[in-house]
Amino acid sequence: MKKTYLLKNLSLSLLENVKPNQLIILPRRFSIKKLRERVVEKNGVLFDIDIFTFDDLLNAPKNEILKERKFISREQEILIVFNLLKQIFKGQKDFENVLTYEFVSQVLYLLNLMFLESKEYPSLPSSISFEKYDWLKLLFARYKEYLDKNNLVNFSYLQDLAIRLYEEEKIELKKYESAKIAFFVDFRSDQKRLLKLLSRKLSSIEIFLPYFDDVELCQENVKFLEALGFDIIFGFPSTSVLDIAKNTYDSNKNFLKAFSYGNISLEVNALVKELKKDCIEGRIDFSKAAVVVPSIDRYKDILAKTFQEELLPINLDYQKSLLEFGFIKFVLDLIEFLGSEFDKKKFESLVTHRFLNKEEADFEILFEKIKDIYIMDFDQIGNVLEELEFLLSIFSFDEERENLVKIQRVYNRIRRIKKDYETSPKPYSSWLLQIKKVFERLGITKTAEFVNDIEFLKAFYALNEVFENGCKSSSEFQFDYTFEEFLDIFKTVLSQKMVDVSIKILNGIDILLPQDAIGSDYEKVYFIGLSDDILPKPRLEGFLMNNQIKLELGLDEIKDFDYNFQKELVSFRSILNSYEVYMSYPRFYQQDLGKSPFLELEGIDIVGIENNYLPDREIVTHKEYKLIKNANKVSKSQDEKRIHVPEIVQIKDRELIYLYECPLKFAFKKFSVDQIKDDDSFFSSNLRLLYICIQKILSCDQPQETYNFILQNLRYTANDAVKRKSAENILKIAIEIAEGMFKNGVKEFIPQNIGQHNLLIRQNFEGFEVQLFPNFAIKVGDEEIFGFVKAKHSNKWNEIDKLWLAKNVFNLEKVAAIFLYESPRFVIYENSSQEGIDRQSQECLETLKDLLQRLNDPELYQKNLPVKNCFRCEYNHVCILY
């Protein structure tokens, strides 16, 4: 009795009625752990049940093989393959320079596929055709010969040999009465070989697969199983399982919707609110909830940080390549700098790194000096430092001289190490020992344990393992490698070394990829990140991963985009049909994003949520709490919510504008709730330069002198072309504004409230002291006029600004203004009392007076207006007392 059940929804309920002496095969250890817990919870014991992956079935034959053979280390494998490639490409000019770590890594991947699929290429031509990838067949044959000769195996070869022992009946498979196989979206070539063995050995096998009749991948699975003699059954196997399962095969999930948020931060904030809400309402237990993401790389950091702030437990199984760690990138940059020609950009990034610049020297003075100098070698930096030392000795700049001494110490350390760094060809182990000496001389080895950074420590200890294992395993390979060859080999080794960065908390919320969520027992799945750039994943094919090489080598495991699209679609649909699902995606992450095509295919409605935090009365996230934490006291009673509003006496001009725009925004600023600092450093810096330029033009300074001054003081970019263009723009704006000042008879221009120039105008308005801070003052004859800078244009008819306040609240007779948007210009306004104010300004003034009278009323800060009226405020209302 061999049956295959084709299902739309899958859960562990299908497998919980296990019997003694039964084999169960699942695709992932994660699912195995869940099923074992469920079986023990139900039966108290596991009986004699083997719950395995396909790989676990090979443990016995693998142990037999490893009695005669040894595992080849990753370092040994890379060195052997690299040397074989050098031999094959010797004399081939087109291939001599291709042995980069990216190339070697892909070759290793292809070799593993050849072993996994048990390939044989017996009839190699006498003359190798490099265009037809015969060199890969030759490499495979020579590498396999080397492994056999030295009684070695790698993982894929061991897998192949173990299956052969079963196929050739040199070792017997354990006898089972029956088997159940579930939750596989597809089968690898080695898994298909094992499935054929099981179908011959066992008379009773049940397979539970996800199936959708419009997906070609599912149809291919059915054809494969039919060829093995399996009966195909659409739907659930029995009434009892039907009762357990959540949905029938023909059921359709209606009314599904996905939420669209402005960015990834808002999306995760909404996820947290949904999790908390479901937990409070008793709909989920955290141990029975899963967050599914198409890309762990994108979401792991923000999820870990946010869940830690919210005190939510999290379980995340994740490994990443050693090459991805920031510390390892520094190590590679350092090695490349020591062994290569001088590179100015690399030098600037290295000397400021914390492991070299331990005294926190400011290198600005050195970088400014060498930016226009062509540096041929490292010693020229020493000459520049001597010149700076001489210049500083003339003037009594104690602080600058002390800083220069720190710079010289960093330079001398690197100079000594670079001078002693040997780049002549040597064995791989010798290169590794030389790097270790560099570490010791820099003091990295001694200080590493004191660095309070878990990621750094993991990378540091993993790198030490690479050094130790590399020296041991490569001692028998006494080939000499050039510096460039060593660097490529070393990068390949680092890229193949995986480091565990998992986060595991008991009964935590699982963070999973879509395929890992298939066939579990979650109460609810939160599927986020459903954007078009990662679901489905784009297939970035390397230069060796293409259809031609698949045909030439006969490799079934090289998959194209269509195959991966179908595989991910099956996973997506299975999740939708198996669980209650919450879905969302961000509209922006480093670029504008759209919804996943899977949402379109399934006809899922999109609910667009604007870029705002909308806490309700019960659910508030940590991020929202930081906005409302200044509320002095909130009653725990649901019927009584009172807040004491601090007495307000003084109001600054900008705060008055905030009040008019939105009472909540005023509260955030006035009571220091908002901790976000505006990143306007570039604008402020350029505005100061503009002020000085206007002063220089009014003083009739030479244009070239003014232009040079701007170039010297632009700090936000090191790109000369950008600097020159920026300087020209600032000078052009200054000239246009200065022309307007000349026409109005301006004799003097004095910037205010910037640096040491502080000017404050006070006015009693509706019982409050309102404070006005002008941006500048001008002198026209004997008259002094205050002015303001307006940098942004607004299309809103009812917007007020400092210029409006000066004219309508402070009633200044004359007000000057500098407009920076569109066509830069300078204007002087006269405020005539005879004309009065227009109807629009009168309405704004009445609104402002009304808001001021209600400032101490907590009701003012509540969300008592329709949401659409709150979007003037950049906070978009938190819909709660401030």
pLDDT single digits (tens) 428-479: 999 999 999 998 888 777 666 556 678 888 898 999 999 999 988 887 777 8
CB 12 within 8 A of CB 30: no
Characterize 802-818 residue by residue with b for buried, 16 or more Cβ atoms within 10 angstroms of its Cβ, and e for exposed: bbbbbbbbbebebbbbb
Q: What is the pLDDT of residue 214?
A: 94
Tell me how far apart the alpha carbons of residues 581 and 524 are, in angstroms, rounded to a whole number: 6
What local confidence, expressed as pLDDT, does residue 238 receive? 55
pLDDT at 604: 95
- Calpha distance 567→215 (Å, rounded): 9
Helix, strand, coil proportions of the chain in percent (round to 5)?
A: 50, 15, 40
Segments in the chain below pLDDT 70: 45-47, 96, 125-127, 237-254, 395-397, 446-452, 539-545, 611-618, 624-645, 664, 668, 671-683, 715-719, 755-757, 793-798, 833-836, 861-882
Residue type, 355: F
Alpha carbon distance 344, 369 (integer Å): 12
Q: What is the largest CA-CA distance in the chain?
A: 110
pLDDT for 849 equals 87
Pairwise CA distance, residues 414 & 438, whole Å: 10
pLDDT for the residue 296: 94
Angle at 18 between CA 16 and CA 19, to 5 degrees: 165
- Cα–Cα distance list, 691 to 14, 53, 733, 784 (Å): 75, 71, 11, 17
Per-residue model confidence (pLDDT) at position 880:
35
pLDDT of residue 798: 65
Instruction: Output the pLDDT for position 444.
Output: 78
Instruction: Summarize pLDDT for 478-524 with one digit per residue, the tens.
Output: 789 999 999 999 999 999 999 999 988 878 899 999 999 998 889 99
pTM above 0.85, yes or no: no
Question: At residue 650, what are phi and psi to the nearest 5 degrees?
Answer: -110, 140
